[in-house]
Copies of this chain bind each other. A is one copy, B any other.
Amino acid sequence: MTKSWLSIPSGSHFSLANIPFGIITHSRFQVPRIAVAVGEHALDVNTFAQKGGFSKCAGLDSSALKVFTEQSLNAFAALGRSHHRTVRNYLRDVFRADTPYPEVLQANEGLKNEALIPLSEVQNHLPLTIGDYTDFFAGRNHAHNVGTLFRGPANALNPNYNHVPVAYHGRASSVVVSGTPLNRPWGQVLPAPGATTPVFKPCAKLDIELELGMFISRGNKLGQPINVDDAEGHIFGYVLMNDWSARDVQQWEYVPLGPFNAKNFGTTISAWVVLADALEPFKTAGLTNEVELQDYLKETKKDNVVDINLEVALITENGDENVISKTSSKNLLWSWPQMVAHHSITGCNLRTGDLLGSGTISGFEAGTQGSILEQTLGGKTPLELKGGEKRSFVNDGDTIRIKGVAGSVDGELVGFGECVGKILAPISRS
């Protein structure tokens, strides 16, 4: 375990094996700044860079340093994976108990006071300016669970499922950072099974979708697909994601063009981007695919999903915490490089800051599914919560909190912190 001169509590998601990047403001500065999370502190990287913090960092020239003055991580992401590695390794060295550069921060009281800020004092913002947001459907257990609900187990998966990394284009504008409350949306829904005339009312089946999100570092030119074996070099890092879903709206609207209003009122992501390098030790195989893949989806180097322990809690307005799901992000049929390769195989251009979602991550057993739809069999078997409360879907005042942490390497955790969202009363129609 790599010890730090900075106090990092045992169990912290932000050990020296992590060094995730985010965007913060603070009472001292209202213009967003780049930061990394270490233990219970944020390092204001903007200030750190301007005060010479990177002076001992080999391989980072002054033009590259300018990216740390930006208000989003896009320019840093666009530098490419080798630069991310250089910066992450250097910052880890700066914080090591046996740092080769004590003068940079450990022994620099002025810079420590200015640039190290308790996480409890910072406000997080969206880490990147998102171009396009695409949501995949790679969680085959979820697809199977939901398909079984709607079509029975024999026809649970659609014929294309094991061949195509199915996805849809999502809404980028309403992706919000953890902590942002959302109002329950109104929408057109059918009043009863078999009805043909909709009514307009607040969504009555507000659901969650437990997902992992991935940000693109460098993109590709239009007409030039990314080879599956090159895709890893286009991955910046990962976040937790809750793709809120209005199931009743979705059911009425989704034929034939897919979900639209059912998904566009908000998608919550965690604040700190865990870099691809930090998750390398946790790469593993995803779900086994029985079919012969098309060549463009065949990976030379396999094991390209990541094994992150995920936990979903529903917190009622009185503060009762109910863990409703535990699973792993390895429950995906398609790896991240396969998603990138499929997305771009038509020539579609990905850009720095694009966000790709995994699709809902579920196991099969009770308490391992990533949506309430699955857990309650479509609302029929409500969740039993503390205090005698029951939930078929999410109520007003409920908070959904996702945590994600990768198993320890030498006692150091690589975690995401939390992805939190509270559902408020329906949008006012005054």
Q: Are A222 and B257 in contact (CB under 8 A)?
A: no
Q: Which of A169, A170, A252 has the most CB of B within 10 A?
A: A169
Given contacts A168-B257, A173-B354, contact A346 B158 (CB under 8 A): no
Provide the bound-state CA to CA distance between A417 and B131, in Å.
29
Provide the bound-state CA to CA distance between A42 and B156, in Å.
58
Q: Does residue A246 face the partner (Cβ distance < 8 Å to B)?
A: yes
Q: Does residue A54 face the partner (Cβ distance < 8 Å to B)?
A: no
Q: Are A345 and B187 in contact (CB under 8 A)?
A: yes
Q: Are A427 and B347 in contact (CB under 8 A)?
A: yes
Provide the bound-state CA to CA distance between A223 and B425, in Å.
11
Q: Does residue A253 face the partner (Cβ distance < 8 Å to B)?
A: yes
Provide the bound-state CA to CA distance between A261 and B340, in Å.
12
* Residues 235-276 of chain A, each 1 if its beta carbon lies under 8 Å from chain B, else 0: 000000000001001001111111111001110000000000
Q: Which residue of B lies closest to A184 (CB)?
A: B347
Q: What are 20 A-B interface contacts by the 8 Å CB criterion?
A: A158-B256, A164-B198, A164-B252, A166-B256, A166-B257, A167-B257, A168-B168, A168-B258, A169-B264, A173-B348, A174-B348, A176-B222, A185-B347, A187-B346, A197-B291, A200-B294, A222-B266, A261-B345, A261-B348, A347-B427
* Residues 35-72 of chain A, each 1 if its beta carbon lies under 8 Å from chain B, else 0: 00000000000000000000000000000000000000
Give me 11 other A-B pairs in contact (C-beta within 8 A), A160-B198, A160-B252, A183-B223 excluded.
A164-B188, A164-B252, A166-B260, A169-B264, A173-B349, A174-B347, A187-B345, A222-B266, A261-B345, A265-B346, A265-B348
The 5 residue pairs across chains A and B that have the minimum distance between CB atoms: A258-B258, A185-B346, A265-B346, A168-B257, A264-B348
Size of interface on A: residues with Cβ below 8 Å to B: 64
Provide the bound-state CA to CA distance between A173 and B346, in Å.
13
Q: Which residue of B lies closest to A349 (CB)?
A: B173
Q: Does residue A302 face the partner (Cβ distance < 8 Å to B)?
A: no
Q: Are B264 and A346 in contact (CB under 8 A)?
A: yes
Question: Which residues of B lie under 8 Å from residue A137 when comparing CB positions?
Answer: 257
Question: Which residues of B lie under 8 Å from residue A343 when comparing CB positions?
Answer: 261, 264
Q: Does residue A342 face the partner (Cβ distance < 8 Å to B)?
A: yes
Q: Are A259 and B261 in contact (CB under 8 A)?
A: no
Q: A154 CB to closest chain B CB, in angstroms?
A: 15
Question: Which residues of B lie under 8 Å from residue A186 when comparing CB positions?
Answer: 296, 345-346
Q: Does residue A214 face the partner (Cβ distance < 8 Å to B)?
A: no
Question: Which residues of B lie under 8 Å from residue A223 when comparing CB positions?
Answer: 182-183, 265, 427
Q: Which of B158, B173, B224, B258 contacts A132 (CB 8 A)?
A: B173
Q: Does residue A318 face the partner (Cβ distance < 8 Å to B)?
A: no
Provide the bound-state CA to CA distance between A321 and B255, in Å.
37
Q: Which of B174, B185, B259, B350 contacts A173 (CB 8 A)?
A: B350
